[in-house]
Structure 1
Amino acid sequence: MASKFKILACDGGGIRGLLTTVILERLEQKLDAPLNEHFDMFAGTSTGSIIACAIAKGMSAKDLRKFYEDRGKDIFPNLTSLNFLWNSLLERIKTGDLSLPLFPSDGLDRVLQDKDIFGDILFGTLPKPTLVVSYDAYNRTAVVFKSNQPEFSQIPIWEVCRSSSAAPTAFSGHILSDPTYIANLRQNPDHSIIKNPLTIKIPPESNGVPLIDGGVVANNPSLCAIAECLNLKRSSEPVSLENILVASFGTGQMEDRINAESVKTWGVLDWLNIKKGLPLLEVFSDGSADLIDYISAQLLKDQYNRYQPLVPKNKHISTFQADPTNLESLVEVANDFLNQGGDSQLDALVSAIHS
């Protein structure tokens, strides 16, 4: 009987990715070896793309956790800045000028290009198949970067992750102008993961395509990875559903609910309130992740393992704040999850990995 084809999939969720790294650190301790030695494929969306690619290239979960704790503040502004940004947004709304994203993208760009994370390493050099989800806003189609495909292989990893992490309203989109990728689009206009009636083109005003956060289509990348896995062969034999094992890591399910009155009365300022964590983005990404979670579980049954901590409403977790209080709360939520049954779930995963 063939061994399982093991997939590690990581959701989007901004700085909440720290929560994922804490759980992965515990898994790595149990396996007593780097995670990239125990999985055959990696998949990520948004902040999950950073985690997936970093692990795929051999970074330890412990170092990845430290990366989020130390560099998160370089990506996300502190609370004082958030108040300033919110007041600035209100002024822009009054004047009808909503042309700027809430957060500058310079910090995210610099951090991803740091030699301690990705530097200038190319996506195609990752030793195992890695998938990253994004969305082409110009051609209105999902994009799944695949490290083992030639059209994506020469793109720097940081650009792949940047393309997947450009949350609408929060960060600016990323213009991908990699020559190999653009040449492939020109030669093969139908290049897309779906049959799109819109002809794939390059925007006439630029020599690149505008990509935004993959969370708008698949905040949980598990299903994309499962589909790709079925197209792969291992030792010349195709991989079947029965031989796939998925470990899917979320960034926390919020217990704080949007009540009926709010749904009836909220307008644009409420749904895009930065102090409330940009509820519109969270609703879209959570809904996408939950649907993929459901489909993946139906397909794989017990071979689909989901690790999604509940975030108590008294924790006041934010997706876009990297202040010490928020970081501490994220670590607490992850540890509570592990202490309340999550650790046993990881034990079961370790047994499945070794079987």
Structure 2
Amino acid sequence: MIIFLKREFTKRKRFLSVIISLNFANPVFASHDTTLADDTERTNKTVVIFTIDGGGTRGILPAVMLDALQKKVGQELTPLVHMWGGTSVGGIEALMLNTPSSNDPTKPAYTPQDLINLMPQEGPRIFPKSFYNSVTSLWGLYSPMYSSTGIEDVADDYFGETYLSESLSNVIVAGFDITRNVPIFFKSTSAKVKEEADFKMKDVARFTSSAQTYFPVASIQSKTGRVVSGIDGGNVCNNITMCAIVEARKKFPNATDWLVVNFGTGRVVKTVDYDSVRDKGALHWVRPTISITMDGVSSVVDYQLNELLPPVELGDGYYKRRYYRFQPVIPESLSALDSVENLASLRMIAETFVQEHDAEFDAIAEELRSINGKKRNSKRLYPILSSRTSQREPKDSDDISGSRDLDDLSASLESLS
């Protein structure tokens, strides 16, 4: 009896660990995922996952980083990445890089340079400044600050009638379904096998970026007319990396290793003074709570992935990193999610960040080349002390527990199905 109880406790503990690590992710189309068995790919090589955080106009930060990386690789990134993931502006950028060109459907219609130009060119349409609208909406307290017309027109211009099923690589984009009160993940893997999961890219872009107080709630239809209504995925999943890994595990069950790269939209170092909030109510907690939701949850995902994907020792003091998170620190003065005026300064921060992390970008570029058959130069690899800890955000967070191995995570997920 004691042995039985211990086994049950262990199983339940693992179950809770998985639920926590997935941030309670419950895809709306999960009931259809069993059909994806025929869509798996039998690769025995390293699977590459790129994810992009949400952050409005701050999306120029990951755009600059992706552009720098593509230049180092010397070829388009889209076909080199097995799974792309994004939330809000990160979802829009992931979709852009996977939109087929009208001239050559095997090539992406947009490059990382187009991502850099997105907000400078389209930001004024998406976030039109109007003192009248600010006043009548009470700066977002009474109604959305912006009409959906701008973001919808921009999405239509960039994606047209392209469907998610036409994505060049695998893509997962996050939203939140308010009618079911659950996260929803728009997945190209599901879209390719189920029309009810196949939405137009422009509609997915609108949905994932429908941040409340900024834009009206989104309501979109799939090919079969299925309607989903909701808001920005950043509310629950601003860093979609863990969900992208789970999706990649299903798509590539025989993968031998992983290269996971997450591109952030800037971290604002804010602290809350104890005396200023210790006896305060909701009004005083609104702004700190937004920061905690966006940055805190993303930092938890970062912690989990540092534990799940530690560097692999190669001998002679060298290690191969399997997980990177690039998250520049930005001043509070540049923290706005809808400021076109901040774009030039944000771009400069991103360019400086790339220069400061040149060794990491070189290592990723070389890893991408080696995965695709080119010889690796071991001199580009560097010791664990200069790589493992450089991007980890939460330090000494012993309160957070999680599995250290993706195989354990996968086994736990399989036990739930």
Give the TM bin, normalised by the shorter chain.
0.7 to 0.9
Higher mean displacement: 53-62 or 257-266: 257-266
Q: By how many angstroms is 1:87 displaced?
A: 3.8
What is the TM-score with the length of structure 2 in the denominator? 0.68
Q: Aligned runs of 1:178-217 on 2, under 5 Å?
A: 178-180=222-224, 182=226, 208-217=227-236
In structure 1, stretches of 5+ residues that fail to align are 183-207, 273-277
Deviation digits for residues 316-341 of structure 1, max 9, x if unmatched? Answer: 33211112xx011111110221222x
| 2:178 is the counterpart of 1:137 | yes
Pair 1:281 & 2:290 matched:
yes
Aligned to 2:345: 329
Q: Secondary structure at the match of 2:145?
A: coil
Aligned to 1:3, which of 45, 54, 59?
45
Compute the displacement of 1:85 (Å): 4.7
SS at match of 2:189: coil
CA distance in 2, matches of 1:145, 1:292: 20
Partners of 1:328 and 1:91 in 2: CA distance: 25
Query: 2:204 maps to which residue?
Result: 160
SS in 1 for 2:147: coil
Q: 1:86 to 1:256 in 2, by over 3 A?
A: farther
C-alpha contact (below 8 Å) 2:277/2:284 kept by paired residues: no
What is the distance in 1 between the residues matched to 2:189 and 2:152?
24
How far the C-alpha of 1:268 sits from its partner, in A, is 5.6
Q: Which residue of 2 aligns with 1:293?
A: 302
RMSD: 2.3
Tell me, yes or no, if structure 1 residue 47 matches structure 2 residue 65.
no
Deviates more, 1:168-177 or 1:17-26: 168-177
Give the counterpart of 1:239 among 254, 257, 260: 254
State how far apart, in whole Å, the 1-side matches of 2:225 and 2:234 are: 22
Amino acid at match of 1:9: T
Q: Provide the residue aligned with 1:103 in structure 2.
A: 146
Q: 2:288, 2:124 → 1: CA distance?
A: 21
**1:222 is matched with which residue?**
241
CA distance in 1, matches of 2:174, 2:240: 7
Corresponding residue for residue 202 of structure 1: none
Alpha-carbon shift at residue 258 of structure 1 (Å): 3.8
SS in 2 for 1:172: coil
Q: Give, as a single letter, the amino acid of the residue that structure 1 aligns with 2:297.
A: S
How big is the shift at 1:263? 3.6
Q: 1:181 to 1:225 in 2, by over 3 A?
A: farther
Alignment counterpart, residue 76 of structure 1, candidates 127, 143, 148: 127
Task: Compare CA radii of gyration and give the structure with the larger one.
Answer: 2
How many residues are treated as equivalent by the alignment?
306
SS in structure 2 at match of 1:148: helix
Q: Letter of the aligned partner of 1:344 in structure 2?
A: A
1:336–1:91 Cα change, 3 Å: closer
Would you say the 8 A contact 2:73–2:368 is kept in 1?
Answer: no
Distance 1:300 1:239, change over 3 A: farther
C-alpha displacement at 1:89, in angstroms?
A: 4.2
- TM-aligned CA distance change 1:89 to 1:261, over 3 Å: farther
Query: Which residue of 2 is the match for residue 253 of structure 1?
Result: 267
Letter in 1 for 2:247: E
1:175-201 superposed Cα distances (whole Å, 9 cap, x missing partner): 12325262xxxxxxxxxxxxxxxxxxx
Distance of aligned partners of 1:320 and 1:345 in 2 relative to their CA distance in 1, 3 Å threshold: same
Residue 350 of structure 2 aligns to a residue whose secondary structure is helix
Give the drift of 1:111. 0.6
Structure-2 residue corresponding to 1:175: 219
CA displacement 1:233-260 (0-9 Å, x = unmatched) = 3xxxx234x5121111000011244433
The alignment's TM-score, normalised by the length of structure 1, stands at 0.79
279 and 85 in structure 1: CA distance in 2 versus 1, 3 angstrom threshold: farther
What is the match of residue 365 of structure 2?
Answer: 350
Q: C-alpha displacement at 1:102, in angstroms?
A: 2.1
Alignment check: 8 A CA contact 1:134 1:142 kept: yes
Aligned residue identity for 2:112: A
Partner-residue secondary structure (3-state), 1:180? coil
Displacement of 1:216 in angstroms is 1.4
**Would the aligned equivalents of 1:231 and 1:239 in 2 still touch at CA under 8 Å?**
no
Aligned to 1:26: 68
Matches within 5 A, 1:262-277: 262-264=276-278
- Output one character per residue of 1:48-99: Cα deviation in whole Å (capped at 9) or x when no partner: 0011111122111012211222111111134xx3x55554344996xxxx2x
Q: Give 2:204's aligned amino acid.
A: V
Whole-Å Cα distance in 1 between the matches of residues 196 and 128 of structure 2?
A: 32
Structure 1 residue 122 corresponds to structure 2 residue 137: no
The residue that corresponds to 1:185 in the other structure is none
